[in-house]
Amino acid sequence: MQEKHQNKPRPTERERFGADPAVRAVKVGSLTIGGGAPVIVQSMCSTDTRDLHATLAQTLRLVQAGCEMVRVAVPDEKASAVLPDIVREAGVPIVADIHFHYQRALEAIAAGVDKVRINPGNIGSRDRVKAVVDAAGAAGVPIRIGVNSGSLPEDILERDNYRVTPEGMVDAASREVEALEREGFRDIVVSMKASDVMTMVECNRLFRSKCDIPLHLGVTEAGLTGYGSIKSAIGIGTLLLDRIGETIRVSLTAEPEEEIQAAWWILEATGVRRRSPELVSCPTCGRVEIDMIKLSMDVMKMLEGIEIPFKIAVMGCVVNGPGEARDADIGLVGGKGKGLIMRRGEIIKSVPETELLSAFKAELETLCKDYKQED
């Protein structure tokens, strides 16, 4: 048996070196965005915030799914009135989504929210912006500036011949940042979202090259779950691999709980964060002499409820399987009538096909036990 220190899941490159510590750190309730902190997963309630029961119920479902920060719309005074209850019961930082009326931002801050999302340019005069900034600063509440490709300032659109450009998105964000920093406020997070993936990627790259403000990433109006998840993975994942992005939201035309699953898959696939085992399985092909689909599904069921970020390999090819399973913490290689159990690149057992799953399960349980003892 290998030494116990080798039982620890292998750190990913991003986990090994951490997020970019040069990015400004912004505290949001109990969490930190930026400053080398882990990338945060967030979503937004689809309920009418004024319906306290429905909003709290959805918030708790989001938290159970793995959401770490929840945004709620605050369109009027009735929505503001229920914010204290939401903040008290949610269990995660609550972000108030404010548009047009600065008074809603003041009410949300007074209600104890952990962050407000505004565009300074659409809440009125400099005096109103200053009132929000002063209240946020006194309460220690950060502000997210949200720039969307569908609502850029008219003068920027006119300048760019009514085309949405990365430069225009960055100029719009920079204008809003300056409005806050002019008042001495620095606890700022910026999002620049577009439904076009290339525009979204390029404007975030350009913004990051200019300043150290944390970035909230997302492809807006991404669409239904399947295609929208892929669009989001390409846009968000590209930037995460560039070490750009401190918090993410996957925006789907779906129940918000589905956004959380997609977000975690993006984080895990890019190696930025892992909260559960990663299952690597080979595709079906003419060389496979075992039911790979059933075998992989059976292993996946075994992993339910395990919150250790192991890498698990399920292979069905005697040509490439052993080599491809070498990098996994534990691997299973099926063949004709028999299979191999591997641990960190070493073959530790050869068993008949009928005993393959039970042998794998026993080794998995041993690995989990060793990990917990080491902790």
Type and span of the H or E element at 126 = helix 126-139
Q: Is 221 left (phi over 0), alpha (psi -120 to 50) or beta?
A: left
Q: What are the distances in angstroms from CA 24 to CA 35, 91, 120, 157, 208?
A: 5, 25, 20, 30, 11
**Are the C-beta atoms of 233 and 266 separated by less than 8 Å?**
yes
**List of residues 6+ apart from 249 with CB closer than 8 A:** 41, 42, 43, 44, 216, 217, 218, 259, 263
DSSP for 192-259, please give it: EEBSSHHHHHHHHHHHHHH----EEE-BTT--SHHHHHHHHHHHHHHHHHTT--SEE----SS-HHHH
**Are the C-beta atoms of 32 and 142 separated by less than 8 Å?**
no
**Are the C-beta atoms of 214 and 246 separated by less than 8 Å?**
yes
4 domain residue, yes or no:
no
Do 100 and 218 lie in one domain? The reply is: yes
Do 75 and 154 lie in one domain? The reply is: yes
Of 269, 296, 320, the residue that ends a domain is 269
The CATH number linked to 336 is 3.30.413.10
3-state DSSP call for residue 352? strand
**List of residues 6+ apart from 232 with CB closer than 8 A:** 218, 219, 222, 250, 251, 252, 262, 266
**208 burial level (CB within 10 Å; 0-12, 13-18, 19+):** buried
Number of domains in the chain: 2
Helix, strand, coil share (%) of the chain residues, nearest 5: 45, 20, 35
17 domain residue, yes or no:
yes
Do 186 and 321 lie in one domain? The reply is: no
Residue 351 — φ and ψ, nearest 5°?
A: -135, 160
Do 189 and 337 lie in one domain? The reply is: no
Do 303 and 259 lie in one domain? The reply is: no
Quick one: which of 283, 273, 329, 260 has its CA closest to 39? 273
60 domain residue, yes or no:
yes
Q: What are the distances in angstroms from CA 282 to CA 143, 296, 318, 332?
A: 45, 9, 11, 11
DSSP 114: S
1 domain residue, yes or no:
no
Do 50 and 19 lie in one domain? The reply is: yes
Residue 147 — φ and ψ, nearest 5°?
A: -105, 130
**Are the C-beta atoms of 331 and 341 separated by less than 8 Å?**
yes
Do 211 and 79 lie in one domain? The reply is: yes
Do 236 and 308 lie in one domain? The reply is: no
5 domain residue, yes or no:
no
CA distance 47 to 261: 19
pLDDT of residue 324: 73
**List of residues 6+ apart from 366 with CB closer than 8 A:** none
6 domain residue, yes or no:
no
Of 221, 249, 269, the residue that ends a domain is 269
Do 212 and 323 lie in one domain? The reply is: no
Specify the residue for token string 């998995």: 364
Do 145 and 189 lie in one domain? The reply is: yes
290 domain residue, yes or no:
yes
pLDDT of residue 230: 97
| pLDDT in single tens digits along all 375 residues of the chain | 344 435 566 555 455 445 688 899 999 999 999 999 999 999 999 999 999 999 999 999 999 999 999 999 999 999 999 999 999 999 999 999 998 899 999 999 999 999 999 987 777 788 998 999 999 999 999 999 999 998 899 999 999 999 999 999 999 999 999 999 999 999 999 999 999 999 999 999 999 999 999 999 999 999 999 999 999 999 999 999 999 999 999 999 999 999 999 999 999 999 899 888 889 888 877 777 788 898 899 999 999 988 888 889 998 876 677 777 778 899 888 877 888 888 888 888 899 988 999 999 999 998 888 887 766
Q: What are the distances in angstroms from CA 37 to CA 21, 26, 263, 289?
A: 8, 10, 17, 45
Residue 35's domain comprises 13-269
pTM above 0.75, yes or no: yes
pLDDT of residue 11: 57
2 domain residue, yes or no:
no
The CATH number linked to 249 is 3.20.20.20
Do 95 and 165 lie in one domain? The reply is: yes
Do 167 and 297 lie in one domain? The reply is: no
Q: Which amino acid is at 38?
A: P
Of 269, 297, 320, the residue that ends a domain is 269
**Are the C-beta atoms of 226 and 3 separated by less than 8 Å?**
no
Type and span of the H or E element at 76 = none
- CA dihedral 319→324→325→327, nearest 10 degrees, is 150
